[in-house]
Each structure stands twice: as C-alpha cells, then as structure tokens.
Amino acid sequence: MNTTILGYPRIGPRRELKFATEDFWAGRIDADALKAKGAELRADGWTSLRDAGLDAIPSNTFSFYDQVLDTSVLVDAVPDRYRHLTGFDRYFAMARGAQDVPPLEMTKWFDTNYHYIVPELGPGTRFRLADGSAAKPLVEYREAKALGIETRPVLVGPLSYLLLAKPAEGAPGDFRTLDLLDGLIDVYAEVLERLAGSGAGWVQLDEPALVADRSDEEIAAFARAYARLGRLTSRPRLMVATYFGTIGADALRVLAGSRVEAVGLDFVAGPDNLDVLASVGGLPRKTLVAGVVDGRNVWRADQGRAKATCAALLGLVDQVVVSASCSLLHVPIDLDAETSLDPGVRGRLAFARQKVAEVVAVGRALREDVPASVEASAPPAGVDHGVRARLESLGEAAAGRGDRGARFAAQQDELGLPALATTTVGSFPQTPEIRRIRADYRAGRVTADAYTRAMKDEIARVIALQEDLGLDVLVHGEPERNDMVQYFAEQLDGYATTQYGWVQSYGSRYVRPPILHSDVARPRPMTVEWATYAQSLTSKPVKGMLTGPVTMLAWSFVRDDQPLADTARQLALALRDEIADLEAAGIRVIQVDEPALRELLPLREAGRPAYMEWAVAAFHLATSGVADTTQIHTHMCYSEFGEIIGTIRALDADVTSVEAARSHMELVADLRDGGYENGIGPGVYDIHSPRVPGADEIEENLRRALRAVEPGRLWVNPDCGLKTRAYPETEASLRNLVTAARRVRADVTGVSG
Ligand code: GLN
Ligand code: ZN
C-alpha cells in the first residue's frame, strides 16, 4: 500500500443513483433494475480508481441511501416497526418512512452537510449478522474481486456506530448505547472472519468519533473493542481511520498499543495530529495512512507541502501511505465536467477525480523521492482592496447595537405591533408554476421583463393572502429564490457556481454548494427591488429577508487561504450594505437567517469559544448599522440549543424565531434560563408535514410559551419557511395560527386584535 483514499462519491457523474432510486420509489423500475444500477456505479467507481493508479481501493463505500443505515441493516439493528417489511421496502422505510411507519431520525454527519440515519437502539437490541455470507461488505468485496480488483472493505467502526446511535423511545433512562458494545463486537468479529475467508487482506474501520471530546469510559470501551478485534486469529489486517479533526492522545495511545496494523489521521482538518503523534512516541511497526489531500473541500492540493508532511511522518511510523483526509463523498466528482467556470477559479480547484490524481502524484513523488508536481502553482484568490480597506476602517464601530430596552421602546413606537405579533419565517409555497417560470428564465426561454412580472404577481398574491389572513408582519414570500445560499452567491462577487458539482446531502437529495473563492463584494443591491415592491402593496410592515454570514459559509465550499472569520467579515459587510439599502428604502423589519449557526460549531469544546466569537461578530457587523427603530430578526431551524444559547443571546437580534413545536415549547424556558431577553418566536406548528394544526393546539402551545415569556416579547410563527408546503394546508394552518394568537392576546391584554 502506497496510495489510497477512504471513500469515493457513489452518486454517479450525472446523478445516476438519484434518478434510479427515485424511479424505483415511483414504481417505474423494479428492485432488480435498481440493484443493477448500483452494481454498474460500483464497477465504474472501482475501475476509475484502478485506472488512476491508486494502489489500495476501498469498497463498501457505495450505499443506496446511507452507510450508517447500511451498518444498522448489517448488524440487524432493525426496530420492530420495520420487521414486517423485507428487502428494499424495509431499507427505504427505515430511511424515509412508509405508509404508517415513520422513518428513523436523520442528523448531520459530524460537521459536514451529509446526513446519516440515526440507529435506534435499546436494551433489547440483539445484534447479529443479518444476511450471513450475503452481507453487503462481503458481496461488494467479491463483486470487485470478480472484476479483477482487490479492495479494502470499509465499515463504520463499532465505537462510532454506537456513539452516533440514540436510545430508542422507552429505553430506561440509564441505558447507554455503548452498553451494547460487546454484542456488537461479536458481529464485527464474524464479519472480519468472513471477509478474511473471502480473501480480503485489509479492512478499514472508520472511527471519526475519536476526533471529538471523549470520556475516559468511552476510551476504555474503545480499547476493549479493538483489543478483541486485534486478537482474532483469522482476520484481515485492520486500518482504523479517523478524520474531520485531531485524534485525542488517549485514543492514539490505545491504537499504538493495539494490534491494529494501520491508523488513518487527517492532516488537513487536524494539523495538530503531527504533534499528537509525536507526543505518544509515534506508531512504531505500524502503517500511517496520512490524509494530506483535503477530502471535503474543493481546492487543489499543494503537492509539495503534502509530500513534506508525509516525509516528516516517516520518522514516527513504520510506513506512510498517502491519502485524502476523509471520504471524497463530500466533494463533487469531476472538475472536467465544468466547462463554464472562470479559468482563474478553475485552476485552483480539484474535485474527487482530480484529488485521486493528486494522491497518486504525491505518492509517486514520495516513493521516487522526486520533487512533487512541477506544475505552475494555482492562481491566487481575487483581492478587493476596497472591501479590505472598509473592513479595516470599520473596526469597533460595528461591534453591536445600542441598549436593548431603548430599541424595544423605539420599535414599539415605530411599528405599533400588538402583543403576540404574528408573522412567518419567510418563504411561501413554491408552486410548480413558480418553479417553472424560474427555470424558464434561467434557460433563456422567457425575458427578464416577463420573469419580473411573474414574480411581482406572485408577491402581490402572497401579500394579499397575508392581509386577508390578518398577519401582523408580512413577507414577500421568496418566490425568486430556489435556495437561500445560492440566491445570494449568484449576486456576490467572489463566488462561483457549478453545473454538475452535486454532493450527496442525504438519500437522493443532492446539493450543489457554491464556491466562495475570492474576496466577497456586493456589486449592487440584491433584494431591495422585491422587498420594496412588496412593501408598496401594504401598510403593514414587510420583513426583508437575508441569509446570514455563517449560513453562507456553512453551505458553500469556502476558500481555505484565510481564516473563516475573515471571510465571514466580508460576507457580513455585504449584508450590512444590503441592510442599509433596505432600511433606506423603507423596510423596517429585516430578518437575517442563521439556520446553520450550530452546524459550524467545532467538534471539540476547546474550539468553540473562538468560533462563537467570530460568528457573533459577523452577525453584529451585518446588523449593527441600523437605527434603533429598525427591528432585526433572526431564524434558526432547530430546538436543541444547549450548546449555543449563549451565542443566541450574544447575537442580540430583536426577535429570534426557532423550531419548537416538536419539543412542545420547552426551549422558551431554556432560552429564558440562558439569559435571553429579546423577542422570541417559538414555532407553533411543524411545517415538515402537510398536517393542519388546529387553533386549539396552537393556542395551547402559546399558553405554554407564556409561562416563560411575557406577551410583549412572544411572537407567533410557524417553525420554518413554507416553501415545501402547498397552498391549501398553508392557508388553513395560518388561519388557525392567527385565530389562536387573537384568542390568547385577548385573554392576556384584555384587547382583541
Ligand atoms: N427564510 C427562509 C425560508 O423561509 C428560512 C429557511 C431556513 O431557515 N432554512 O425559507
Ligand atoms: Zn428554518
């Protein structure tokens, strides 16, 4: 082994997997056809890796939905509610639900935008190798072998699997998923023995959980698990892969003392790995798989530096294998498909296929001890001196807004809103007609004038509907946006978008993150025309709608040649200018969405204060230029605020709307206890389902919220934007929302609204 990667995209260069899967769900193709498509995509993947000259090729990195779900199926961790189903019916019911069976939960894979299906385990869970010799890693290993390609099967490691799982509902309070470790190791042992029996020389066990903070108990469990696996008499050689950060010294010491043959470390997201490795005395007699090519961002590697890192490692370990830092699942497949990118930007990029070539090139340079790549170095990022000078001169001036009490009073005067003011989070249903006209406009099939007219008609309809419903703060409905990040990326300098740069987000849902490559600047207003048009149609306040700096970063590929904090400031400056323009045009309420605030939270506690500091500073920079009378809102899409309550308070938005319906308003009290004193809009109904909530149910939610917050600070809104909903249920739900708000308002203020 000299070069390898930890995993490769499985979606196909033209999203073949998505189309086949959705055809299967719609009944257009049968299970055999879907399986055949999977086999074809796997074969293409392996062959292209072999042809690229990669020595050690991973297998079992393909999945019809998600590798963690595959692991649950492998070890038969199937909750009872799916047991009456079989095959794909069971598999996809676990992933996305079926008639009368809700799906398993889904959540983000570490700090990426990939979502995995959360295993649901309880004291009654009995692991076993569900399919015996037909288990997926065995089948895929043999399949590659039949093509003449020797592979290294990849499994989610047992420790990470259990730590990513959650206790099933009804499990006793003291149950911990880690309690199930011994039973799980039995199954892993069987898989390893069978893989050895089929001829596999190596197996990769992914343990990314080791780059987050771990308790002594967890480290002890980890040690026990790998001691057992290491002692198996007939097994493949074991490679334990970590990625997304720096491994803990305690965990690395365990690996050093174990019989595991190879360890993978990420030297891109975890540059401190070199120090940790030195601090434990290296890994004598072991192979180090060195992740020196960035597996989750799109920049071309500095091959000379990658080679130097590997060379520096040689003294600490027995052998160094060149690799990408994590699975290439997180980047688009092939830069060659992008024909309309600016050459200056393109020259700086590498997608999965190009990254494999980089790994191979660094491996060759290392082995033959020749200088790495003589290619000209990548073109530099574009510099905007105007933006840089302005940021410098702004300094402390944009560090926050004035006294919150004064703001509250000024806004009451200015806006005259009632207690329990009603509003929505921004988007209204995106009907097929809206999507069609947007697509037609992009493709040049309709003129700009016709497009603008259609959008304005839609805005007028949405405003009229909200007037009719009796909402207090209106929105324009966002018909012109297909995506809250891409919409702004397309209008900002410093950003590029791709044609085929798809990355799996979950299941058959793929995204094309824009690429933030240079200094960000706003050449012209981005939202003012739509917002002022909407405001011209009503005397009620219309809320301007922007995407915040952290969310712009989280859902893009971001330049890595300067700290994220600096890039966040550039985005914030563009937003600050946009907000000034909105305010000058008569928009009195402006919402800056930050649904990704929690996502960028560093995996380790130690990194969090610095992150929160720059995230908050960027929000302040964006929003602090307005008068006290202008009301700033923000919105977040989740309710587990434990780790970020302090940050939400520090953002100091006048009003924060959050998801709350599913947790029955609990977080209103949490926010109060965390010292948050501004306006709060706990979502009073769940917009993720078409179900129409009754007015009574919303009323009850409001009364519950009022136990923790006074009526003047309580806002009434749905959980999130309405763009994925249809009009009939949206209208009915909002009507009930307004009815409920009016009832409670009449009660608490003695005035009916
Ligand atoms: N304003 C956006 C919308 O309503 C917010 C979406 C989000 O938070 N994800 O669609
Ligand atoms: Zn949301």
- Chain centroid to CA 615: how far? 17
The tokens for 358 are: 């980089």
Among 635, 638, 655, 725, which is best to mutate for testing ligand 1, by the most ligand atoms less than 8 A from CB? Answer: 635
The tokens for 182 are: 């011994």
* Domain match, 493 and 362 both: no
Say how many Å lie between the CA of residue 428 and the centre of ligand 2: 13
Residue whose tokens read 């920049």: 299
| Run of H or E residues at 70 | helix 67-74
Between CA 678 and CA 652 the distance in angstroms is 7
Contact (CB, 8 A) for 204 and 160: no
681 CB within 6 A, ligand 1: no
Residue 378 lies in a domain: no
Between CA 440 and CA 450 the distance in angstroms is 10
* Domain match, 362 and 414 both: no
* Domain match, 360 and 411 both: no
425 CB within 6 A, ligand 1: yes
Residue whose tokens read 């009490």: 405
Could you say which of 319, 349, 368 is where a domain stops?
368
> Residue range 240-248: average pLDDT?
98
Say how many Å lie between the CA of residue 415 and the centre of ligand 2: 24
CATH of the domain at 622: 3.20.20.210
Residue 332 lies in a domain: yes
Question: 45, exposed or middle or buried, with CB in 10 Å at 0-12, 13-18, 19+?
Answer: buried
pLDDT of 618 reads 97
pLDDT of 688 reads 84
Residue 377 lies in a domain: no
When computed from its CA atoms, the radius of gyration of the chain, rounded to whole angstroms, is 27
Could you say which of 368, 389, 419 is where a domain stops?
368
Ligand positioned closest to the Cα atom of 657 = 2
> Residue range 216-242: average pLDDT?
98
718 CB within 6 A, ligand 1: no
Say how many Å lie between the CA of residue 158 and the centre of ligand 2: 33
Q: What residue type is 37 in one-letter code?
A: K
Provide long-range contacts, Cβ within 8 A and 24+ apart, for 392-395.
394/573, 394/621
Which ligand 1 atom is nearest residue 595's CA? Answer: 8
The tokens for 196 are: 């050895």
Q: What is the mean pLDDT of the chain?
A: 96
Residue 709 lies in a domain: yes
pLDDT of 661 reads 81
CA atoms within 13 A on the CB side of 473: 30
Could you say which of 368, 393, 418 is where a domain stops?
368
pLDDT of 528 reads 98
Q: How does pLDDT run across 443-454, given as a tens digit for each residue? A: 999 999 999 999
* Domain match, 270 and 327 both: yes
What pTM was computed for the model?
0.96
Looking at the chain, the whole-number percentage of residues with pLDDT higher than 70 is: 99
- Domain with 211 in it: 16-368
Residue 379 lies in a domain: no
- Residue nearest atom 1 of ligand 1, based on CA coordinates: 426
Strand order in the sheet with 57-59: 57-59, 151-156, 202-206, 237-241, 262-266, 283-293, 317-324
Say how many Å lie between the CA of residue 325 and the centre of ligand 1: 32
- How far from 400 is each of 618, 628, 643, 668, CA to CA, in Å? 10, 12, 22, 24
Q: How does pLDDT run across 652-682, given as a tens digit for each residue? A: 999 999 988 878 888 898 888 989 999 999 9
* Domain match, 739 and 673 both: yes
SS (H, E, C) 178-234: HHHHHHHHHHHHHHHHHHHHHCCCEEEEECHHHHCCCCHHHHHHHHHHHHHHHHCCC
Looking at the chain, the whole-number percentage of residues with pLDDT higher than 90 is: 92
Which ligand 1 atom is nearest residue 591's CA? Answer: 1
Bigger pLDDT: 468 or 688? 468
Contact (CB, 8 A) for 269 and 564: no
pLDDT of 41 reads 98
pLDDT over threshold 60, residue 374: no
Q: Is 620 a catalytic residue?
A: no
- Residue nearest atom 5 of ligand 1, based on CA coordinates: 721
Residue 315 lies in a domain: yes
595 CB within 6 A, ligand 1: yes
Q: How confident is the model at residue 722 (pLDDT cuts 50, 70, 90)?
A: very high
* Domain match, 518 and 644 both: yes
Q: How does pLDDT run across 67-82, given as a tens digit for each residue? A: 999 999 999 999 999 9
Q: What residue type is 666 in one-letter code?
A: E
The count of structural domains within the chain is 2
Three-state SS at 56: strand
* Domain match, 77 and 217 both: yes
Q: How many Cβ atoms from other residues are within 10 Å of residue 136's Cβ? A: 22
Contact (CB, 8 A) for 87 and 31: yes
Residue 4 lies in a domain: no
* Domain match, 243 and 342 both: yes
* Domain match, 452 and 578 both: yes
Residue 450 lies in a domain: yes
* Domain match, 359 and 445 both: no
> Which of the residues 115, 385, 664, 688 is marked catalytic?
688
The tokens for 45 are: 């993947």
Contact (CB, 8 A) for 257 and 284: no
Residues whose CB is less than 8 angstroms from the CB of residue 195 and which lie 6 or more positions away in sequence, other chains included: 137, 138, 141, 153, 203, 235, 236
Q: How confident is the model at residue 375 (pLDDT cuts 50, 70, 90)?
A: low
* Domain match, 331 and 467 both: no
Question: 133, exposed or middle or buried, with CB in 10 Å at 0-12, 13-18, 19+?
Answer: exposed
* Domain match, 336 and 410 both: no
Among 720, 722, 725, 734, which is best to mutate for testing ligand 1, by the most ligand atoms less than 8 A from CB? Answer: 720
pLDDT over threshold 80, residue 160: yes
